[in-house]
Structure 1
Amino acid sequence: MAKTQLNVRVDEGTARAARERAVARGISVNRYIEELVRQDTGEAGRTFVDAAADFMKQYESVFAEEFAETRGTDPVEDRL
């Protein structure tokens, strides 16, 4: 993906906080800002929800069996 340079001005406290957070996460300030924007636009959240939905769909029968055993019911009967 091509990169575009943005120049922004922030107060020193904001710049310091961004640097500290990036260092704490082991990433560059640039990457930190990119992640914040992606989170704000919902891209990361949608990706997570889609992956979680796929996971649940793949393992639906396993979960149904496990929770039926916990409740003491038959998962097949529960679906009828």
Structure 2
Amino acid sequence: MAKTQLNVRVDEDTARAARERALERGMSVNRYIEELVRQDTGEAGHTFVEAAADFMKQYESVFAEEFGAAHEGRGEGSREHRNEGRR
């Protein structure tokens, strides 16, 4: 993605806080501000959901094998079994 320069004026306390927080996180002030804006606009959350969906697609068979077998093996304790007597 192409970068655009944005000049912002803030008071000295805000500038100091931004520098300190960026340093604590091991990133530049530019990157810190960029991430704050993304979080505020919801882009970070949307990106996370997309990445999680991609992960699940990639490992769907592994999860199905692992957890599908566990679900089938519940026997009498399963919800399906408990609900049979209610029908």
Q: TM-score, normalised by structure 2?
A: 0.66
2:51 counterpart residue number: 51
Relative distance call for 1:2 and 1:61 in structure 2 (3 A) is closer
CA distance in 1, matches of 2:3, 2:64: 46
Extract unaligned runs of 5+ from structure 1: 74-80
CA distance in 2, matches of 1:58, 1:2: 30
CA distance in 1, matches of 2:41, 2:16: 24
Extract unaligned runs of 5+ from structure 2: 75-87
CA distance in 1, matches of 2:12, 2:60: 50
Relative distance call for 1:59 and 1:18 in structure 2 (3 A) is same
2:19 counterpart residue number: 19
The number of aligned residues is: 75
Q: TM-score, normalised by structure 1?
A: 0.71
Larger Rg: 2
Deviation, 1:17, is: 1.4
Summarize deviations over 1:22-56 as a string: whole Å, max 9, x none.
11111111111111112222222222211111211
Higher RCO, 1 vs 2 (CA within 8 Å, ≥6 residues apart): 1
Query: SS state of the match for residue 45, structure 2?
Result: helix
RMSD, aligned α-carbons: 2.4
